[in-house]
Amino acid sequence: MKIKIILVIICWNLLHVYHLRAQSDQFFYQMIFETKIGYNDIDKKSALNPNNFIGINSFHSLSQFYPVVGFKNSLNTTQTAFQAEAIVQNYNFERDSTLFGMQELYGQISFEDKHHLTVGKKRLDWGTGLIWNPTNFFIQKDPLRTQNRLEGIFMLNYTYIAKKGEWNMYLFPDKRISDFKMAAKYNYSGDKVDASISFLEYGRRQQFGMDLSYGGSVFTAYGEGVIKNFTQSYGIDTKGHLITPDVRNGKFYAEWVIGASVLLNAQLTLNAEYRYRGDQLSRDGIKIYKAYLPANTVLYDAVSIGKHSLFGNLTYSDLYSRWSIQCRNFYDPVSGQWIISPLGIRTLNNFQAEVSAMIYSQSFNLFHSQINILISYSF
């Protein structure tokens, strides 16, 4: 009984301290709730999933909760910071499908706003592309929702910030200490031009990357590309046999993106992006892939499975940023896959609602169409 009373007193005091610290500038917290519910119009003639063999539900839901806490402290010219972001997610409101994880968990120490040392799990922001980032080997966005909160990666990072540029050195631990990845990146920021070069190595695998963006107040053009000797994608031979990524490694190939963003007027923005991936399927490869479905489902990509991918989007926002509508298009000219995805977003101060649809055409997809409603609340 005494122990329970002591525990209650300790908890009360901790809550009191927490409350006091929450009032100061040094400590911050944020709670984000997101719920997505959707309807899938399943294609029962799909070569990937004939007669819904893998049992996809027509209705689906995903609830996510992100508690974010952190603190910052300054002492003369030295700043220390700590931030943690957890995730609790649940599929279809089923108790067994609740998952817990850490999105970010890192500490950072900075000297004179020039030297920054970061240790822990943190998101990495490599690349200038809006939808696709070939230079970012570590984290790839969901092209159908680029605003998703992404999971960070474990790293040791040193950054030196100069007046017109930034040097970065990274070490990324792997399963074994001896298997760490190493990377370096230099960013230059000029008046209208931003550019970077990067290098990544682990074992015998190397990636050389660069990106460039040129922009004024209404028009921005950008490009981003890598040459690398490893892949994470499967290949297919002429007899329809799958070739694993390990077997394909060793040969250098290119992957790059070019894009542009144009502000047509204060409310209307046009985006376009093209991606080339040297390790993906050619026209002949797609014929073979199609002939041997569903055995080679592992090659499937909802947006594009060929070497070439195109993206185009028109966004119209109201003057007060309370709502916006978008018409997004993804097209793969090699396979003929085309996704039209309209999106509407309504924003109030702490609340956001999104309604989106995906309409699939000429594709190997699992669906004819999908409709999603996402509601997000933060405090």
Chain residues in the site for other proteins (CB under 8 A): 28, 30-32, 77, 108, 110, 112-114, 116, 122-125, 141, 146-150, 159, 161-166, 187, 189, 191-192, 194, 213, 215-218, 220, 263, 266, 318-322, 347, 349-352, 376, 378-379
Side-chain half-sphere exposure of 200, counting CA atoms within 13 A: 18
**Is the Cβ of residue 63 or residue 317 nearer to other proteins in the bound state?**
317
Q: How far is the CB of 155 from other proteins (least distance, A)?
A: 12
Token pair of 140 as six digits: 């790839």
Which pair of tokens denotes residue 338?
């085309």
Nearer to other proteins, 218 or 247 (CB): 218
The DSSP code for 45 is T
- Residue 196 or 337 with smaller CB distance to other proteins: 196
Q: Is 171 exposed, middle or buried (0-12, 13-18, 19+ CB in 10 A)?
A: middle
State which residue, 238 or 321, has the beta carbon closest to other proteins: 321
Close Cβ partners of 225 (under 8 Å, ≥ 6 residues apart): 134, 135, 209, 210, 211, 254, 255, 256, 257
- Tokens 């996402």 — which residue? 374
CB of 288 to other proteins, least distance (A): 37
Dihedral pair phi/psi, residue 254, rounded to 5°: -110, 150
Comparing CB distances to other proteins, the nearer of 155 and 334 is: 155
Q: Which is nearer to other proteins, 161 or 373 (CB)?
A: 161
For residue 126, which phi and psi values (nearest 5 degrees)?
-70, 140
**Min dist. Cβ of residue 290 to other proteins (A):** 35
Rounded Cα distance, 62 and 170, in Å: 34
